[in-house]
């Protein structure tokens, strides 16, 4: 199998994943969510569709075109003992900056604040803590795994770091359009996009230098846990 064939398939996998993600999002919003009528059911469906459209095609491409390499290593899913503290610390620290931005410019949309004990949006129940929050964390980790572990690292190997970073950040913005829409009323669209790009570029540098996305995945999950906990404890709003 030639490198050219692998490159074409790589681009095709990205396009198919992005198209499928958009199509299935519309399917979920218009048909699945009204039928499910529960937040936990919606969260599980969203998590499963993200794994289906992002992780499965990426693993298929790696097994087919990088068959001599470990899939987990190619996806940045490794953590060497001598670099573990730095990798985890930088990844978690980056997303703590995002949490700080949320605290400074608290989102007001119910999609972000239903955990809050001080908000009219408060509808969180036991299923939200036991099911919705863990699935949100998985979805957050899948975002880093696909955009950085797959797209960024493989694109950098083929085309260099600058094109890879540009491609990743375009996809990063597209994947976070829903979150940007929720953040825009408090941060403004410019602020929300700048925050996303800040997280995108710095996260890319970490991933490229360390060839690992484990710390970033952990940080992204902790961001969601931290935000839900802060709202539930009534620190803001």
Q: Which two tokens stand for residue 114?
A: 């239903």
Check whether 148 has a pLDDT greater than 60: yes
User: Which residues lie below 8 Å from residue 78, measured CB to CB, with a gap of 6+?
Assistant: 70, 72, 211, 212, 214
* The token pair that represents 163 in the structure block: 């094109």
Query: Per-domain residue ranges for the chain?
Result: 3-232
Whether the CB-CB separation of 195 and 208 falls below 8 Å is answered with no
Q: Would you say residue 237 has pLDDT above 80?
A: no
DSSP state of 69: S
Q: What is the pLDDT of residues 59-97, one digit of tens each?
A: 999 999 998 889 999 999 999 999 999 999 999 999 999
Number of Cβ within 10 Å of residue 19's Cβ equals 11
Structure confidence at residue 217 (pLDDT) = 98
Counting residues of the chain whose pLDDT is more than 90, the rounded percentage is 80
Q: What is the pLDDT of residue 49?
A: 96
């Amino acid at each position: 199998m030639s490198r050219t064939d692998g490159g074409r398939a790589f681009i095709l996998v990205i396009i198919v994943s992005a198209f499928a993600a958009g199509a299935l999002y519309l399917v979920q919003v218009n048909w699945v969510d009204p039928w499910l009528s529960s937040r936990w059911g919606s969260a599980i469906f969203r998590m499963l569709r993200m794994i289906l459209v992002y992780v499965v095609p990426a693993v298929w491409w790696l097994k087919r075109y990088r068959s001599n390499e470990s899939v987990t290593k190619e996806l940045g899913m490794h953590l060497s003992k001598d670099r573990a503290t730095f990798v985890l610390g930088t990844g978690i620290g980056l997303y703590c900056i995002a949490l700080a931005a949320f605290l400074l410019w608290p989102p007001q949309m119910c999609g972000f604040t239903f955990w809050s004990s001080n908000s009219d949006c408060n509808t969180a129940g036991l299923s939200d803590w036991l099911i919705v929050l863990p699935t949100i964390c998985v979805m957050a980790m899948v975002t880093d795994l696909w955009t950085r572990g797959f797209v960024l690292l493989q694109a950098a190997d083929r085309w260099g770091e600058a094109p890879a970073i540009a491609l990743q950040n375009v996809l990063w913005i597209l994947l976070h359009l829903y979150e940007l829409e929720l953040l825009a009323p408090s941060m403004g669209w410019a602020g929300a996009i700048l925050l996303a790009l800040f997280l995108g570029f710095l996260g890319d540098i970490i991933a490229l230098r360390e060839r690992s996305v484990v710390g970033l995945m952990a940080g992204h999950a902790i961001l969601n846990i931290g935000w839900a906990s802060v709202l539930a404890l009534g620190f803001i709003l």
